[in-house]
Structure 1
Amino acid sequence: MSVYRVYFKWKGKEISLSAKELDLTHPYFVSIKDLVFDNSSKLIINPSEDEIRKTFQKSKHLMIPFQAVILIEELKNDEKNHVVPFNLIEDSMKQKK
């Protein structure tokens, strides 16, 4: 069984959600069902992931406009995301100047 990761813009932020079901048959929306969240207990909590979980965890079905969708990935069920994005302190200092 595949898991789909959908990247989209929402409230000015880029969000990624994983789901078991994806439907592209609606003319203007991407339909996402059976959202998948990493429920493993962690010592360090990523605030952005925690905000996404709190916002969408109770949702059964999402309809995202095609214009907001950036990328859709199909992953094997056993694949894990091993890359964690982070900002270097040097980069954030350059942006402030």
Structure 2
Amino acid sequence: MSKPLYKVTFLNAGKVYELYARQVASGALWGFTEVRDLVFDVNAGVVVDPTEERLRDEFGQTRVLHLPMQSIVRIEEVERKGTSTIRDAGTGEKVVTPFPMPGKPR
């Protein structure tokens, strides 16, 4: 039997994050949920999902993510990993950092 896989959906800075992890538990810190062993796609090819790469840059070195219980929208045990996303909390649209264009201010 393989390890369980969880899809964790939570609010952070006006955005809805969807991450995948192998362990989710009540935290030792009161009012927090511990999310461990985050799972990211390993893309060796040229095409890379910018959202997945952004999440890997932000959370790739994280050993344990302590999320306040109020920020968690949902935790689901799933069969297989889907796409990790960042969405705007108000509109639900995906938030993607555009590729910088030469000559355009950031």
State whether TM-score is above 0.5.
yes
- Secondary structure at 1:19 match in 2: strand
1:71 aligns with 2:50: no
Q: Percent identity?
A: 29
- Counterpart of 1:66 in structure 2: which amino acid? M
Which consecutive unaligned segments of at least 5 residues does structure 2 have? Answer: 86-92, 94-106
* Change over 3 Å in CA distance of 1:44–1:2 after alignment to 2: same
1:33 aligns with 2:36: yes
- Counterpart of 2:13 in structure 1: which amino acid? K
* Greater share of helix: 1
Structure 2 length-normalised TM: 0.66
1:49 aligns with 2:56: no
- Does structure 1 retain, via aligned residues, the 8 Å contact 2:27–2:66? no
Structure 1 length-normalised TM: 0.71
- Counterpart of 2:47 in structure 1: which amino acid? I
- Number of matched pairs: 82
* Change over 3 Å in CA distance of 1:17–1:80 after alignment to 2: closer
Which consecutive unaligned segments of at least 5 residues does structure 1 have? Answer: 85-91, 93-97
Distance 1:41 1:14 in 2: 27
Distance 2:21 2:48 in 1: 21
